[in-house]
Structure 1
Amino acid sequence: MMRSGLPDTIAWRTALTVGSAILGVLILSLVANELGGFWASPASLERALLGRADDIVRLIEAAPVAYRQTLSAAVNIPSVTAEWYPATTDAARDLMVSSTPDLTGTYDNIFNIDGHPRRIVRFNSNDRLSDVLSYDRSTHRRVDFFAVQLRDNSWLVFTDEAHQWALPQSTQIVIALGFVGVSILAASVLATYFLSKPIRRFGNELRRFGSDPRASPIPEIGPKELRSAISAFNVLQAQLRQFVEERTTMLAAMSHDLRTPLTKIRLRGEFIEDEEQRARLFRDVDDLQAMADSALAFFRDDFKDEDPTLFDFAVLLRTIVDDYTDQGRPVSYSGPERFSFSGRPLALRRACMNLVDNALKYGNLAELTLACSPTQIELTCSDRGLGIPPHAFEKVFEPFYRLELSRNRSTGGMGLGLTSTRAVILAHGGRIVLHNRAEGGLAAKIILPITGSSGGVAQVGSQSVDLQ
């Protein structure tokens, strides 16, 4: 649009899109009207035949009765013959019963005389009316008839060997409206798709930024208003990134600077003669150091510095289980033997270990269950503890929130384990939900989408299943 000199705005795009849709519908309607033939409206050839038939009707109607049969036999229309039936014949009586006036104007008033419509009957050789007509059935197996009533109630029947007369006007209207409706629907769908394409692209870029705040700026493409919004968002993104980096740098400096006074406190604590007080002091020092290190690790988001790669997720889980089992911890795994997945293996390993640690600490054991589908994987970590109150299902993901009210690091931790775990899962485009099990204990379910780069091959035992 910019090359054409028109302003590239949403208003202009909408106007051009709607105008193009209307123009497309009109063109399609014209094409259908020309190519539709007999079923859409009477074709030009058919109109010519009807016009000649009307002239023949008027001629025979004006001729004496004695000459009408001869005149009808002399009809010279390609593939069409005519036969006159007096009002006293069985054919005329049957046609009278089956006929209806052409009140709808189907034939454009071709057969109207002085504003009075004639009675017209259309049928073919398969209709019972053809039994009373005289025509060569051995030569013409399938013919169409067009009967017109004259003023003296006699009938002139045209026998057509190769032409189909037009459909009734009501049927034509239904077909035309149906085609126009389908055309408008198709044009609207296409117009809406191309009009909303830049907005959809912007939404996808926003979701990418939501999962990775360090993502590159969004390309400024699309209409003027959208480019302005993208530009403002890129500025906001840069400010947020700078804000986070400054706070992270400050926390890193604080953590580094705290090491010196904490070390001095520990050295001076060696001179405390009371062993109990000395032990309490050392525990406080360790708590301060652990809190500083945990906060720093959380705010740094170190897992996002790891590049995504294709790895075996099932093997990663079984390795975690083996490590805990070697320590005599009750951890088990059930699921496929092999499953390739694209992600950050180290970050996912830490997230899974956080869930296992919580399950062991509060539920005495950890049961890992992996379920795979063509679109996502579900990892459930279950325990046999007391569970947690439903109102705390979301609160436990908040930084430094702990259900265990004591400040003992050995029993309650720092309150950042689940927060860090959810950050890792969200960075992979997934989600984590908690629920209490009916048989007792808590279940933490991780749901991760499978991207196109994931291998998507699960192997159970000796059988491999392609999930793509």
Structure 2
Amino acid sequence: MHGRRWSADTIGRWFAINIVVTVIIAAAMNAAFAAFAGVWARPGIEESGVVDEAVAVARTLDGSPRAWRSRLAAAASNDGYQARWYPDDDALPVPIANATFHAGRAKVRALLDRPSARVLAYEPGDLDRQGRAETTYGLAIALSDGSWVHFMTPERSWGLHASTRNLLTLGFALICSLFVAALASRRLARPMERFARQAQRFGADVNAPPMEATGPVEIRLAGQAFNEMQARVQRYVEDRTTMLAAISHDLRAPLTRMRLRGEFIEDEEQQRKLFRDVDEMQTMVDASLNFFRDDSQHEPSTRFNLSELVNTVLDDLRDAGHDVSFESSESVAYVGRPLTLRRAVANLVDNAVKYGGRAIVRLSSNNEWVEIAVEDDGPGIPRHLHEEVFKPFFRIESSRNRQTGGVGLGLPAVRSAVRGHGGDIALEQGTQGGLKARVRLPVLDAQMP
């Protein structure tokens, strides 16, 4: 059981593998940097620039009298090195020969034209004859009579302080760890991002397709559970639609029978009242069915031009002689259900024209939201009723009654359509004293083609 769990593609296994890979790569990078920094901070004696000049000085001293050699060596010293002459081996303070100077030794012998010439070299860190660590580079060349000329640099070339070297090593390790962690976390975060986008899309479209369950086992299990939940919600919506269709058939039949029986009522006043009640009930039933049908309809989401959609709604009202205007700074593309949004916008503009005399529609957008504002010059709605009017069948009797054709489902239908896209609608006082309806629709990551 434990073996199967460990071999599975789990988040715990992901983290374990990432940690191991990070440690291995960090160690490798640290070793590579240490090797590179060691060569860079401690160049060989050949790279210090001493060899060619030392050979020239050695040839000059070799051809000079022994009494002059000490002064000539001192005179040959410069800012790059110090030269000293020593009469024999015992006087030469040179440590053990540097084993890495084989190629350089051959070069010195070739330049001197003395294949058997003795050549010694050392680098910082080598021990001198007293057991102390050298801090400079040095080169000693034996002359023909057995004396020596010794060259040493005044300070270590290109050296790094230990603290600086340690900081650079730590920096390399951190950069490597961050790089590996970024790659690993990105690979682990992708399934989570897909999961979040699918949840966001389902919040805006109940008919969204199921998500593809990928990634570690835990995320795949969560994706499967989400798909099952989404399927249950979709079945619930379909069952409700089927139930409403049955209600439509069952309610319309008795209403038709009531109207037929009303024809036999001799009292015209009672007959008129009965027909009015039947018509009102029929209107409410039709409006309710349309409301629930729109709320649960299966219109697919698509990309469309929201500016053109709003303009089409306003053109229809202009053709009917209504006073409407449209303000938009740019063309706005949106991904959603165009027929649903068209009905919502038409409902808002129709209300503004019906109860406010005219409608002013403004469309704006940014990276997160698309906003549609519909404003009128009417009497408005009291502030304490701004939320109440979104309740089904709620009507403000002083301005909106059955004679106008409203049954209190217009604004609830608009809110249902807007929230079905992940947005919301709010009412507020207009700039001219009327009512302003502000619709905000989110620009979701799910709105990818």
Compute the TM-score of the two structures, normalised by the length of structure 2: 0.68
> Using the alignment, how far apart are the partners of 1:36 and 1:4 within structure 2?
44
State the AA in 1 paired with 2:33.
A
Contact 1:364/1:385 (<8 A) preserved: yes
Q: 1:283 to 1:46 in 2, by over 3 A?
A: farther
- Aligned pairs for 1:110-259 (under 5 A) are 158=153, 164-259=157-252
> Using the alignment, how far apart are the partners of 1:22 and 1:355 within structure 2?
62
Q: 1:184 to 1:272 in 2, by over 3 A?
A: same
Give a deviation string over 1:108-137, Cα, whole Å, max 9, x none. Answer: 86689989999x8x9xxxxxxxxxxxxxxx
1:422 aligned residue: 415
> Using the alignment, how far apart are the partners of 2:262 and 2:219 within structure 1?
63
Pair 1:12-2:7 in alignment: no
- Aligned pairs for 1:379-418 (under 5 A) are 379-388=372-381, 393-402=386-395, 408-410=401-403, 413-418=406-411
State the AA in 2 paired with 1:221.
T
1:90 aligned residue: none
- Aligned pairs for 1:9-408 (under 5 A) are 9-36=10-37, 42-43=41-42, 45=44, 81-83=81-83, 158=153, 164-301=157-294, 304-335=297-328, 341-372=334-365, 377-388=370-381, 393-402=386-395, 408=401
> Using the alignment, how far apart are the partners of 1:207 and 1:374 within structure 2?
16
Report deviation, 1:406: 9.5
Q: Secondary structure at the match of 2:160?
A: coil
> Using the alignment, how far apart are the partners of 1:262 and 1:198 within structure 2?
54
Q: Secondary structure at the match of 1:221?
A: coil
Q: Secondary structure at the match of 1:368?
A: strand
State the AA in 2 paired with 1:440.
G
Q: 1:231 to 1:339 in 2, by over 3 A?
A: closer
Report deviation, 1:211: 1.8
> Using the alignment, how far apart are the partners of 2:396 and 2:127 within structure 1?
93
Contact 2:124/2:133 (<8 A) preserved: no
Give a deviation string over 1:18-60, Cα, whole Å, max 9, x none. Answer: 3223333333333333334666xx34637998xx9xxxxxxxx
Q: CA RMSD in A?
A: 4.5
Report deviation, 1:271: 3.6
Report deviation, 1:254: 0.9
Q: 1:165 to 1:397 in 2, by over 3 A?
A: same
Q: 1:312 to 1:217 in 2, by over 3 A?
A: closer
> Using the alignment, how far apart are the partners of 1:271 and 1:330 within structure 2?
46
Q: Secondary structure at the match of 1:305?
A: coil
State the AA in 2 paired with 1:23.
I
Q: 1:391 to 1:232 in 2, by over 3 A?
A: farther
Q: 1:240 to 1:34 in 2, by over 3 A?
A: same
Q: 1:451 to 1:197 in 2, by over 3 A?
A: closer
Gaps of 5+ in 1: 53-65, 85-106, 123-144, 147-155, 456-468
State the AA in 2 paired with 1:81.
Y
> Using the alignment, how far apart are the partners of 2:365 and 2:229 within structure 1?
38
Structure 1, 12-21 or 347-356: larger mean CA deviation: 12-21
Give a deviation string over 1:391-439, Cα, whole Å, max 9, x none. Answer: 6555544444445599943458333323322333344454434332354
Report deviation, 1:364: 3.2
Give a deviation string over 1:232-252, Cα, whole Å, max 9, x none. Answer: 222222222222222221111
2:54 aligned residue: none
Report deviation, 1:159: 5.9
Contact 2:201/2:446 (<8 A) preserved: no
State the AA in 1 paired with 2:10.
T
Q: 1:223 to 1:452 in 2, by over 3 A?
A: closer
Structure 1, 233-242 or 305-314: larger mean CA deviation: 305-314
Contact 1:18/1:191 (<8 A) preserved: no
State the AA in 2 paired with 1:219.
E
Q: Percent identity?
A: 40
1:462 aligned residue: none
Q: Secondary structure at the match of 2:12?
A: helix
Q: Which structure: larger Rg?
A: 2
Alignment length (residue pairs): 379
Report deviation, 1:182: 2.9
Report deviation, 1:82: 2.1
Report deviation, 1:8: 1.5
Q: Secondary structure at the match of 1:165?
A: coil
Report deviation, 1:198: 1.4
> Using the alignment, how far apart are the partners of 2:357 and 2:45 within structure 1?
89
Report deviation, 1:381: 0.8
> Using the alignment, how far apart are the partners of 1:380 and 1:396 within structure 2?
17
Q: Secondary structure at the match of 1:250?
A: helix
Q: Secondary structure at the match of 1:218?
A: coil
Q: 1:294 to 1:410 in 2, by over 3 A?
A: same
Q: 1:190 to 1:402 in 2, by over 3 A?
A: farther
Contact 2:373/2:437 (<8 A) preserved: yes
Report deviation, 1:356: 1.0
2:101 aligned residue: none
Report deviation, 1:375: 6.5
Q: 1:26 to 1:280 in 2, by over 3 A?
A: farther
Q: Secondary structure at the match of 1:434?
A: strand
State the AA in 1 paired with 2:327.
S
